[in-house]
Structure 1
Amino acid sequence: MTTVKKRSPEGRILVVGGYGAVGATVTSRLAERFPGRVLPAGRDGERARRLGGVRADVGDPEDFRRVLDELGDVGAVVLCVEPADASIARACLERGIHLVDVGASYRLLDAVSGLHALAVESGATAVLSVGVAPGLTNLLALRAHRALGGADRLDLTVLLGSGERHGTDAVRWTVAGLAEPVTDRPRKVSLPGHGVRTAHPFPFSDQHTLRGTLGVPRVTTRLCLDSPLLTAALFAVRRTGGARREGLRRLLTAAFTRVHLGGDGFALRADAYDGDGHAAFVLAGREQSRVTGLVAAEVAGEVLTGALPTGVHHIERLPALADLPERLGADGVTVRRAAPGEGE
């Protein structure tokens, strides 16, 4: 293992994917708060260097370790792209480098969670489930769960704006999710600014994570787009089994990357149930990629100021981040408790 050095609180912040749809927001917001310390990075070295950053490819763990060692003074890494496995997280944590991970795949997040002891030993903090979904959905679920004094079921709903220009990796991840098996049924739900919509079960990582972190035995996350037509088309692909064909997934990824029918608003809802009890919280905003970046920047700021404990933690396990939805109010995010009977 690499010898751990005590990280300076003035260390640099490496934003991997720092020029992408999410990373550009992370880079600009952190640069406002920590001027001169933010380094955008990514696989496209020329693009990163034009922004004053460096090349760093998460697809090549050995090269990534070399970059960290050559820079020498990296205090934190914000991962805005998803590696194939936990080796990038390990490279950071074994060097005592803090980590903020915007990844959305449960298998990867679960593997990184297994590095908790390593992070504690090295004095590093890693925060997982950072973004809109997972992320803000986890925090809404926590509120609804607590409002009941403990829930035995959570239903989470995510509506995304199909007019927003999402990054190719995000679109590819969404299309791949259509091939995952589901057992729950679609559900009609009321979402702020969008009325009643039909949302379909979808393999967001929050539903797996929250079963462990909140101890709720049944958690389901559902997805719809602001365009009912595109929602119907998307989930028709699942019903016909077309999403299991790699060629069709590539065509769908290309189509959804280029076609932008709808707006850029998004909405979230968390419903908690315990017997006859019910509590729900709703959140709305614009530009999901931008808000994901804002969440990551807020979390990174907390990590860098030493406000969070060492170890690996999902966002809902950190009380210092519980008010994060309200912090985004100046950026157009609204959050409230749903009225009794609203959308049940």
Structure 2
Amino acid sequence: MTTANSPVADGRILVPGGYGAVGTAVAAILGQWFPGRVVPGGRSADRARQHGGVRVDVNDPQDFRTVLDRLGDVGAVVLCVEPPDESVARACLERGVHLVDIGADERLLGAVAALHDTALDSGASAVLSVGVAPGLSNLLARRAHEEVGGAQRIDLTVLLGSGERHGADAVRWTVAGLAAPTTARPLRVELPGHGLRTAHPFPFSDQHTLTGTLGVPRVTTRLCLDSRAATALLFGLRRTGLLRAADRPLPRRLLTDALGRVHLGGDAFVVRADAYRDGLHVARVARGLRQSRFTALVAAHVARHLLTGGPAPGVRHVEEVPALADLPERLAGDGLTVLRLTDGPR
């Protein structure tokens, strides 16, 4: 039963970033499951009118709060664009509105996770690390971790399609990640459908999250692209040190614009989680097409779970929600292949 301090059971679903590559797909999927309840949002008033949505700016916390209050009956927010801080999440959770966050910034995820007590007080639930990586990577890592009886080390490998058209936020995040310093080493990994590939350390948030949620002391995430040429180019630039200039606004903008125009490969993706303990080794792999579409599918499934009697109030990462453990298998009908391997990198 819905109370003043619990989410609206049959309320609307606000999708900030609802006109982007992921947000459009999220709105479409949820619109099929919850007809008439999905409200896409974005900063452009014109596009809001065209899509039957609302103008909302996650960079302006007061504007966001005003939109929530004006709509009045929002049951959940699926955040498909990254705000500068946790103010948007706070506005949702203080009002008892469920939150699904596809963000991948370690700092921001930590700030939202710290709102757990706020969610408890309002009766809302928030699920973080939602998407492919983080997201599917977290779920596969938990599965492999459990199968070896508690991993001492987890290696995550992500292959992304360099031919897929990603949103501007995703490209900017990639540029920032390439510029970030790292001490881990590249690893040669067998990726089904793509052969033996060299994957390079990359600051995905899952490797930081999983050390806490699973208690694994060593977790490293590495990245490669389906195009070997594009992988060599990007990580070759990293080795030269030229990408350190990406910390400054103009070089970062120029590099982001350049990468946004490069489409050398296809749209396949692979996520692999290798767990190790005292000589035991299990790998879980998921592969599919169009990473942005599967990010949207994961987000939509999580939102549906929250709106139909999901986890108890509080803030959790996706791997901490038991009912979502089999989500990779549930996505088989959408074209996701899930494999279990027992050999691979050591």
Q: Secondary structure of 2:154's partner?
A: strand
Tell whether the 8 Å contact from 2:77 to 2:99 is kept in structure 1 after alignment. Answer: yes
Q: Is the 8 A contact 2:7 2:76 kept in 1?
A: no
Q: Which amino acid aligns with 1:269?
A: R
Q: Report if aligned partners of 1:100, 1:127 keep a CA contact under 8 Å in 2.
A: yes
Is 1:192–1:283's contact at 8 Å kept on the other side of the alignment?
no
Matched ranges for 1:1-344 at <5 A:
5-245=5-245, 246=248, 247-338=250-341, 340-344=342-346
Unaligned runs of 5+ in 2: none
Query: Matched residues in 1 for 2:26 and 2:61: separation?
Result: 22
For residues 105 and 4 of structure 1, the distance between their equivalents in structure 2, rounded to whole angstroms, comes to 32
Using the size of structure 2 for normalisation, the TM-score is 0.96
Residue identity matched to 1:164: E
Could you tell me whether the CA contact under 8 Å between 2:283 and 2:343 is conserved in 1?
no
Q: CA deviation at 1:140?
A: 0.5
Letter in 1 for 2:182: V
Aligned residues of 1:242 and 1:248 also touching (Cα < 8 A): no
Query: What is the CA–CA distance in structure 2 between the aligned matches of 1:334 and 1:307, rounded to whole Å?
Result: 26
SS at match of 1:178: helix
Secondary structure of the 1:18 match is: coil
In the alignment of these two chains, the number of paired residues is 341
Tell me the percent identity.
67
Q: CA deviation at 1:304?
A: 0.4
Cα contact 2:6–2:124 (8 A) shared by 1: no
**In the alignment, residue 297 of structure 1 is paired with which amino acid?**
A
Return 5+ residue gaps in structure 1 as ranges: none
Cα shift at 1:182: 0.7
User: Displacement, 1:45?
Assistant: 2.1
Structure 1 residue 166: deviation in Å?
0.5
Shift of 1:59: 0.4
- Cα root mean square deviation, aligned: 1.2
Deviation at 1:274, TM superposition (A): 1.1
Q: Distance in 2 between matches of 1:8 and 1:310?
A: 14
Partner SS for 1:159: strand
Distance 1:53 1:237, change over 3 A: same
What secondary structure does 1:69 align onto? Answer: helix
Could you tell me how far apart the structure 1 residues matched to 2:60 and 2:254 are? Answer: 27
